[in-house]
Amino acid sequence: MGIGNIFRAFQPKDKVFFVLFEQVAQTLVEMSSDFHKGLEDYDLNDDSLLKKMSDYEHKMDDFTHEIFVQLGENFITPFDREDISQLTVALDDIADHIYASAKYMYLYKTNEIKAFSEFSLLIHKSCVEIQTAIQNLKGFKNPAAVRESSIKINSFEKIADDVLSQSLVKLFESNDPIHIIKAKDVLEYLEIVTDKAEDVANIMESIIIKYS
């Protein structure tokens, strides 16, 4: 069996990870889209958005588990096992923090939907870029495009920083400390989602730098 054949024999196993990462990215795109849409006509007393986010979060946990199982079994990986493991954890963190945002929105019955919705749009845009980046990371076919997505995700995080500070300044005008504490918590959870997306972007960039 020539080297080419050996290569082809290993290919399917190698591809397992990209298939899984593509499913993870697709899940994040759907989760963030449903999250953003759910905030349009959000009812503080209806837990259906929270339940939906909880389902997505569990689905992401299952993918994360599957990737770790595959990491334990496959000898051949498309890039270093530590990079796969780091990327997996960072992607899961995005889902965890979208869920946490939805949880505290519901538990605290906070009504700052306009600001929440600005964040959810930035979060959705970041997840769409993550999906694009993962497609371009596959087989390292387009490192420049991965870098481009990463720059966009970083810019969404900067915008989210400004949305946070502007929302907080406005929030303090209410002069209601209990409301401020609650809404500030949710706003900060939302901002962390964009930080986590930035972490994903940084990890993908460092993978590109390492292998390109």
Judged by CB under 8 A, which stretch of 34-42, 47-55, 128-136, 175-183 contacts a second copy?
Answer: 175-183
* Nearest-angstrom CA–CA distance, 21 and 3: 27
Classify residue 164 as exposed, middle or buried by CB count within 10 Å of its CB (0-12, 13-18, 19+). Answer: buried
Q: Could you tell me which residues come within 8 angstroms of residue 155 by beta carbon, excluding any fewer than 6 positions away?
A: none
Query: How many residues bind to a second copy according to rule CB under 8 A?
Result: 34
* Nearest-angstrom CA–CA distance, 105 and 108: 6
Single residue of 18, 42, 68, 140 touching a second copy by CB under 8 A: 68
37/143 with CB nearer a second copy = 143
86/135 with CB nearer a second copy = 86
- Token duo for residue 188: 């900060």
| Positive or negative torsion for Cα 130, 136, 137, 138 | positive
- Token duo for residue 37: 């849409």
7/172 with CB nearer a second copy = 172
- The answer to whether 55 contacts a second copy (rule: CB under 8 A) is no
- The answer to whether 82 contacts a second copy (rule: CB under 8 A) is yes
Min dist. Cβ of residue 124 to a second copy (A): 24
* Nearest-angstrom CA–CA distance, 14 and 6: 12
Site string for a second copy, 186-205 (x = CB under 8 A): ----------------x--x
Scan residues 101-160 and list those touching a second copy (CB under 8 A): 103-104, 107-108, 143, 147
* Nearest-angstrom CA–CA distance, 89 and 96: 10
Q: Give contact residues for a second copy (rule: CB under 8 A).
A: 68, 71-72, 81-82, 85-86, 89, 100, 103-104, 107-108, 143, 147, 161, 165, 168-169, 172, 175, 177-178, 180-182, 184, 202, 205-206, 208-210, 212
